[in-house]
Amino acid sequence: MTAGDPLFEAFSIGNLRIKNRIIRSSISGRIDNYDGSGTPARIAWEEKFAKGGAGAIITAHVPICVEGRILPNYATLDCDERIPFWSKVVERVEKYDCPIILQLSHSGRQQDIAGFENGDRLPPAASDRIDNFHGLRGREMTIAEIDNTVELFALAAERAVRAGAHGIELHSANGYLFTQFLSGPINDRADEYGGSLKNRARFLLRVIDAIRKRVGPLFPLIVKIAAADHHTAVTPWLFWQGEGNTLEDALLVSKWAEEHGASALHVSVGNIFPHPRNPAGGLPLPEAARLYDVMLSSGEHTIRNYLIFRFAPSLGKFIWDRTTDGIQTEGINLDASEAIRKAVKIPVLCTGGFQTGSFMRKALKDQKCDAFTIARPLIANPDLPQILERGDEVTQKRRCTYCNKCLVHVLEDPLGCYELSRYESYEEMVSSVLDFYKNA
Ligand SMILES: Cc1cc2nc3c(=O)[nH]c(=O)nc-3n(C[C@H](O)[C@H](O)[C@H](O)COP(=O)(O)O)c2cc1C
Ligand code: SF4
């Protein structure tokens, strides 16, 4: 290790020491069993990043209940039977001095593919409103359902501790259930969970309180937060709905989360997923047209989107890129992260495009965040931490291009890098995408 290199200086979240400032952000793919049990492929998937030198891993979303699942084939933590699987994941990655943090998740209305167990029932959500992009619809939860969901998060947190996980993160950005409560233009509730920002934050803060009671004061609990909603980014014709929560709102929510016991904040952006700013880089067409078909029956706008992707790709690209043209992808959330970091005392993690060592070292020097969470550049180069530790940079040929082909492929295919320009041949790409199955 390079002495004095800020990227490779250890830091702590709660009682957890992390050996460097490079954390694998949530990603996996539909590689677990349909019933929510985990697979050897998932274990091999996580191991690949631990082996590559990541300081810690935040898992992809882990559903706390089947009715709050985003897609089938992701391992859940909705019952005690799932605990031994997560223990195996922990054992496999901690050999590399790489702790693992489970991201506890509830989709709310943002359920891309509900799966047959949920039948035709609408998922429980903060409100009845449909989302602007896919047109996914939820059903406003009753107070009793809110109480029950708080308890489900606390139970899942307890199970994470019993599995030996090193921490948990709340999936509280990017349009899922927590966002649906927090975001002004989404939450239209008339009770104590709607209206003012404090009311809209009540559900998140109750979940933090409930988890803290079960896991003790020091167990790492990260709260992922959208620095701003950018509510109409892909629906400019709905301008009258406004842009939703601002950075000022995020600062308040961050401070409240800290007061209630969050051990760290994780700065993301956007009140839907995907969003032009997350993962930033653009809409891959024609790939999105080919892969979006599995969602056609999920939302009220999916056919509209499919027709645009398929027959009017320039229009699709224009709408998707119109608010991000000219904005640099690497470090897209850094300024917001700096503002949040100044408002709290706990560590602040930042996500969004990081892959250049010199850029990240400068961001640390400028105190813009305490650590970087990385998804796509690590899919492209799982050994990125080792490359940076040697003092090198990723070569131009091997850099992640932020094309987002990995993102749209995940609906149907294993998660991997599908950017052909990074490979010598199609066969090499296939082999690289499937490589983790060999170690399963
Ligand atoms: C295929 C894919 C799956 C993702 N899954 C999740 C997820 O389960 N939970 C989450 O909070 N973020 C998820 N993300 C967002 C990433 O964790 C990350 O925050 C985002 O891609 C920006 O970082 P990057 O530029 O390093 O990719 C996903 C991103 C991709 C590309
Ligand atoms: S497909 Fe590859 S190059 Fe494109 S964003 Fe994903 S990891 Fe990066």
Nearest CA to ligand 1 atom 23: 352
Q: Taking residues 387-412, what's their average pLDDT? A: 96
State whether the beta carbon of 183 lies less than 6 angstroms from ligand 2. Answer: no
Q: Does residue 1 surpass a pLDDT of 70?
A: no
Q: Taking residues 305-315, what's their average pLDDT? A: 95
Nearest CA to ligand 2 atom 6: 406
- Give me ligand 2 centre to Cα 400, in Å: 5
Pocket probe for ligand 1: among 21, 23, 26, the residue whose CB has the most ligand atoms within 8 Å is 26
HEC per residue, 175-230? CCHHHHHHCCCCCCCCCCCCCCHHHHCHHHHHHHHHHHHHHCCCCCEEEEEECCCC
The neighbour count for residue 415, using CB atoms within 10 Å, is 20
pLDDT tens digit sequence for 132-175: 999 999 999 999 999 999 999 999 999 999 999 999 999 999 99
- Give me ligand 1 centre to Cα 253, in Å: 22
Q: 21-59 burial, b for 16+ CB within 10 Å, e for fewer?
A: bbbbbbbbbbbbbeebebbebbbbbbbbbbbbbbbbbbb
Ligand nearest the Cα atom of residue 107: 1
Confidence of residue 120 (pLDDT cuts 50, 70, 90): confident
| Ligand 1 atom nearest to CA at 329 | 25
pLDDT tens digit sequence for 248-279: 999 999 999 999 999 999 999 999 999 999 99
Confidence of residue 178 (pLDDT cuts 50, 70, 90): very high
Classify 6-281+328-438 by CATH class. Answer: alpha beta
**According to the model, what pLDDT value does residue 109 have?**
97
Q: Domain-by-domain residue ranges, the chain?
A: 6-281+328-438
- Give me ligand 1 centre to Cα 400, in Å: 14
Q: Does residue 412 surpass a pLDDT of 70?
A: yes
pLDDT tens digit sequence for 328-377: 999 999 999 999 999 999 999 999 999 999 999 999 999 999 999 999 99
Pocket probe for ligand 2: among 419, 421, 430, the residue whose CB has the most ligand atoms within 8 Å is 419
